[in-house]
Amino acid sequence: MTALPLVFDAPRRGMPPRHLADLTREEARAAVAELGQPAFRADQLARHFYRGVTDPALMTDVPADAREALREALLPGLLTVVRHQTADNGRTRKTLWRLHDGALVESVLMRYPGRATVCISSQAGCGMACPFCATGQQGLTRNLSAAEIIGQAVAAAAAMAAGEIDGGPGRLSNVVFMGMGEPLANYARVRKTLDALLTPAPHGLGLGQRSVTVSTVGLVPAIRRLTEEGRNVTLAVSLHAPDDELRNTLVPINTRWNVGEVIDAADAYARKTGRRYSIEYALIRDVNDQPFRADLLGKLLAGKLAHVNLIPLNPTPGSQWDASPLPAQREFVARLRAAGVATTVRDTRGQDIDGACGQLAAADSVSAPSLASPSAALPVPPVEPPTELGAEGDE
């Protein structure tokens, strides 16, 4: 297994230009006033930004002679599409973005009947060093700004509205922080992003709290902070092992905050919010899929306000890691359910398009030398309530 150090403090690199989405409404109005424009122009710019409008010519409610100056000052282009890849008959689209400094990040837009979810990145790379994760093996390049994170969701909402995803025009309904990076290691900017996602238009995307999921490998102090701040978004904990011995290897942050401490923090979040938390568990052949580990996990979670989301690993070519075979998956599910733990299996998507976060960025690492090649990867995040194991065919 590749052993990389844990990195909590992001490398010091130049942050992107100031953007409207990085500012409070009052700060944005003040910035507009400094340009000699009425403060309400900030509200107009916000309306355009959250609708995905980037062309000044389309900002017809703003005087033509002021559009370009306002765009340059408050709506600079932060995300440039390197390429899109599509799968699932056009219902899944993965986007590789280049940032202002050449760093690469990814987002995935996934559509199901009646809903659409975007998985967004919060960091370029990741400092959590999980050995089976493509992003974790790249190391941490830097934190993203709030505007860079929000921009991924705004682009997805605009793509849905424009009918760019198979199925015609629609609405973005869900956002999951399960892309590149550890969201709670970039807490302040993720928190600002949550505000933008949940704030009604024209100053945000107007999503419901139940429609937003924040994932973490187990940064206990940050989970407690999220609990204290009173948000009711869904918390997802990437556990991947029920015992400290194995989790110390699979999820190195466990050497700082162990399984018991992570579950205690998640339980406190559930008590405060009344919301069930999700336990993400990547099933890896002959590593963490043994029946006794299913029993350990069932004992750990029995009686708790928790749900287990099992993830058949999405391996990369040449990787030493592989997904658990279907019989092992079924045995794992059966043992968890016998313990009274709600359990489903994630519907993995995009396996034919480097579906795991970090794979596209690694493939383009020639143009971004700071990003190393991965050794393996996690699958695409969930969009719909996961498929019940046994409902699918064996093939």
Residue ranges of domains in the chain: 20-74, 80-367
Q: Is 130 annotated as a binding residue?
A: yes
Q: Is 239 annotated as a binding residue?
A: yes
Q: Is 314 annotated as a binding residue?
A: yes
Q: Which two tokens stand for residue 130?
A: 């999980």
Query: CA 238 to CA 249: how far, in whole Å?
Result: 14
Q: Phi-psi region for residue 30, left (φ > 0), alpha (ψ -120 to 50) or beta?
A: alpha
Per annotation, catalytic residue among 26, 357, 388, 392? 357
Query: CA 344 to CA 148: how far, in whole Å?
Result: 32
Per annotation, catalytic residue among 106, 148, 164, 280? 106
Select from 82, 84, 77 the least CA-distant residue to 148.
Answer: 77
* CATH class held by domain 80-367: alpha beta
Q: Is 173 annotated as a binding residue?
A: no
124-160 pLDDT, tens digit each:
999 999 988 888 888 999 999 999 999 999 999 999 9
**Is 106 labeled as catalytic in the residue annotation?**
yes
**Is 357 labeled as catalytic in the residue annotation?**
yes
- Counting beta carbons within 10 angstroms of the beta carbon of residue 51, is it exposed (0 to 12), middle (13 to 18) or buried (19 or more)? middle
Residue 385 has pLDDT above 90, yes or no: no
Phi, psi of 301 (to 5 degrees): -105, -5
Residues linked to residue 80 through DSSP beta bridges, in sequence order: 98
Q: Is 122 annotated as a binding residue?
A: no
Assign 332 to helix, strand or coil: helix
Handedness of CA 327, 329, 334, 339 (dihedral sign): positive
Residue 215 has pLDDT above 50, yes or no: yes
What does DSSP say about strands 115-119 and 104-112: parallel, antiparallel, or unpaired?
A: antiparallel
Phi, psi of 216 (to 5 degrees): -150, 150
Select from 164, 167, 148 the least CA-distant residue to 93.
Answer: 164
Reported pTM: 0.88
Q: Is 119 annotated as a binding residue?
A: no
Domain 20-74: assigned CATH number: 1.10.150
Q: Which two tokens stand for residue 268?
A: 């406190």
Is the Cβ–Cβ distance between 137 and 131 less than 8 Å? Answer: yes
Residue 72 has pLDDT above 70, yes or no: yes
Confidence of residue 179 (pLDDT cuts 50, 70, 90): very high
